[in-house]
């Protein structure tokens, strides 16, 4: 492994070269995109560019949250003086029109366009023409649909693992204090203060501690965790390492379901890359801290989304909840102090450490800080994912972000 400065510099150069390409095509290939035919679109673009002898860069990206518009394609062609253009519902039949009209010619094919792609001050992609982006604030979804989740360098070039590097320069107690100051509550449903949970676990008896990421998403129509892990797995891995360092855990687990094959593929790939870069394993970034993560594939039982049932499942027992107290922070996996947090919680931790707890506490409401990620499904015009500040009304989520109810 090279030292961190070399890794970061190489990632930045790789990203800048990609962004400066004369032709750069981003194609969303998450589960929602694949269901709409994105892999056929990807194949057609590759074959068409090869046939025409066009030297263009094609990048597979995750889900931007605009599932209603899949397959989603973003084309950058700087020489025409236009910003990147985001195209909706690009099936393989439309590829010829886009290649011949825009990539080989000067017609931007606006009949397919959702709008231009821009970046917020935070670096999150958005489309100014769409009302939903005026309501959204993307912290968890900042990289989703913009980077290649299969390439750790993309994540690093966008500031990834800088929070971890910063955390290793802080005492564990200071990290917990910063998370507590942010007002972050668990994003899994119960809403327990994250900093308090970490403090309780750290203050328990000396010995082994465990860190668990609850990625077992069983609610019908919910796909937030799946999208984050498919589109930006390193944000969750980085958050887990920071949390483990804060509480003194050296073993971590991501518990997800076997019905998420793409999540499992992306996670395995991301963990392998993190180990190769020295971000998991022994002496991470020269800190002296050791931590690694194992993936646990659940069989899909809804009850295993409950933390004590999940712990039982990891132990090889029947997934059944047990009475509390004692809580997992006192008596968890193998009877040891354990923190169980949600996918979105870990993703937010990286932003809190980088920007500070005070910054995060200014988003949302005084009693519910930060953002919430919702899955819009059912009878709504624009199904997909949305991330809005806490305190946003359901009316705003359904009508301003989701486009309202069909014929309603």
**Tens-level pLDDT at each residue, the chain (408 residues):** 568 999 999 999 999 999 989 999 999 999 999 999 999 999 999 999 999 999 899 999 999 999 999 999 999 998 888 889 999 999 999 999 999 999 999 899 988 899 999 888 888 888 888 888 889 999 999 999 999 999 999 999 999 999 999 999 999 999 999 999 999 987 766 778 999 999 999 998 788 999 999 998 867 667 889 999 999 999 999 999 999 999 999 999 999 988 889 999 999 999 999 999 999 999 999 999 999 999 999 877 778 788 899 999 999 888 889 988 899 999 999 999 999 999 999 999 999 999 999 999 999 999 899 999 989 888 889 999 999 999 999 999 999 888 888 875
Domain membership of residue 282 (yes or no) is yes
Residues 59 and 167 in one domain: no
Domain membership of residue 49 (yes or no) is yes
End residue of a domain, out of 345, 362, 379: 362
- How many domains, the chain? 2
End residue of a domain, out of 346, 362, 378: 362
Q: What is the pLDDT of residue 220?
A: 65
Q: What is the extent of the structural domain holding 99?
A: 3-116
Residues 210 and 357 in one domain: yes
Q: Where are the beta strands (DSSP E) in 16-56?
A: 24-28
Residues 60 and 7 in one domain: yes
Domain membership of residue 101 (yes or no) is yes
Residues 298 and 184 in one domain: yes
Q: What is the pLDDT of residue 209?
A: 96
Query: In whole angstroms, what separates CA 25 from the centre of its chain?
Result: 21
Q: What is the pLDDT of residue 329?
A: 93
Domain membership of residue 147 (yes or no) is no
Domain membership of residue 382 (yes or no) is no
Residues 112 and 164 in one domain: no
Residues 101 and 204 in one domain: no
CATH number at residue 93: 3.40.30.10
CATH number at residue 322: 3.40.50.11540
Decide: 41 and 91 in contact? Cβ < 8 Å.
yes
What DSSP state is assigned to residue 102? Answer: I
Decide: 152 and 277 in contact? Cβ < 8 Å.
yes
Residues 95 and 223 in one domain: no
Determine how β-strand 292-298 pairs with β-strand 251-257.
parallel
Q: What is the pLDDT of residue 302?
A: 76
Domain membership of residue 177 (yes or no) is yes
Burial of 53 (0-12, 13-18, 19+ CB in 10 A): exposed
| Angle, alpha carbons 136-340-29 (nearest 5°) | 45
Residues 212 and 300 in one domain: yes
Domain membership of residue 173 (yes or no) is yes
Residues 229 and 333 in one domain: yes
Q: What is the pLDDT of residue 188?
A: 66
- Angstrom CA distances, 257 to 66, 214, 226, 380, stand at 24, 10, 10, 27
Domain membership of residue 242 (yes or no) is yes
Residues 175 and 319 in one domain: yes
pTM summary value: 0.95
Residues 47 and 109 in one domain: yes
Residues pairing with 373 in the sheet: 387
Q: Of the candidates 106, 117, 108, 67, which has an alpha carbon nearest to the alpha carbon of residue 89?
A: 67
Q: What is the pLDDT of residue 80?
A: 81
Q: What is the pLDDT of residue 46?
A: 96
C-alpha 403/C-alpha 38 separation (Å) is 24
Burial of 171 (0-12, 13-18, 19+ CB in 10 A): exposed
Decide: 293 and 272 in contact? Cβ < 8 Å.
no
Q: What is the pLDDT of residue 149?
A: 98
Residues 339 and 226 in one domain: yes
């Amino acid at each position: 492994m090279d030292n961190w400065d070399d890794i970061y510099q190489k990632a930045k150069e790789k990203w800048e070269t990609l962004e400066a390409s004369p032709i750069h095509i981003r194609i969303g290939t998450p589960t929602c995109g694949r269901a709409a035919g994105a892999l056929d679109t990807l194949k057609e673009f590759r074959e068409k560019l090869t046939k025409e002898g066009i030297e263009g860069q094609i990048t597979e990206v995750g889900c931007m949250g605009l599932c209603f518009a899949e397959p989603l394609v973003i084309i950058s062609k700087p020489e025409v003086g236009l910003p990147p253009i985001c195209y909706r519902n690009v099936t393989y039949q439309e590829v010829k029109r886009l290649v011949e009209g825009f990539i080989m010619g000067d017609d931007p094919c606006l009949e397919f366009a959702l709008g231009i792609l821009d970046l917020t001050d935070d670096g999150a992609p958005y489309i100014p023409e769409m009302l939903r982006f005026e309501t959204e604030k993307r912290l968890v979804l900042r990289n989703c649909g913009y980077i290649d989740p299969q390439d750790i360098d993309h994540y690093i070039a966008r500031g990834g693992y800088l929070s971890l590097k910063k955390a290793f320069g802080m005492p564990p107690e200071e990290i917990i204090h910063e998370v507590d100051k942010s007002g972050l509550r668990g994003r899994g449903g119960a809403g327990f203060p994250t900093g308090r949970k970490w403090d309780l676990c750290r203050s328990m008896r000396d010995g082994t501690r465990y860190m668990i990421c609850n990625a077992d998403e069983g609610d019908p129509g919910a796909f937030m965790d799946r999208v984050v892990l498919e589109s930006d797995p390193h944000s969750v891995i980085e958050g887990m390492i920071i949390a483990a360092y804060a509480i003194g855990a050296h073993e971590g687990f991501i518990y997800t379901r076997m019905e998420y094959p793409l999540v499992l593929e992306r996670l395995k790939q991301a963990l392998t890359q993190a180990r190769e870069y020295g971000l998991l394993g022994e002496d991470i970034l020269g800190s002296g801290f050791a931590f690694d993560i194992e993936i646990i594939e659940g069989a899909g039982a809804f009850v295993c989304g409950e933390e004590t049932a999940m712990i039982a499942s990891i132990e090889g027992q029947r997934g059944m909840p047990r009475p509390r107290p004692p809580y997992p922070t006192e008596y968890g996996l193998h009877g040891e102090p354990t923190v169980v947090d949600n996918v979105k919680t870990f993703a937010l931790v990286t932003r809190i450490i980088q920007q500070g707890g005070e910054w995060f506490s200014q988003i949302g409401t005084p009693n519910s800080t930060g953002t919430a990620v919702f899955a819009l499904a059912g009878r709504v015009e624009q199904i997909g994912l949305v991330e809005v500040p806490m305190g946003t009304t359901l009316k705003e989520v359904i009508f301003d972000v989701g486009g309202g109810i069909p014929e309603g």
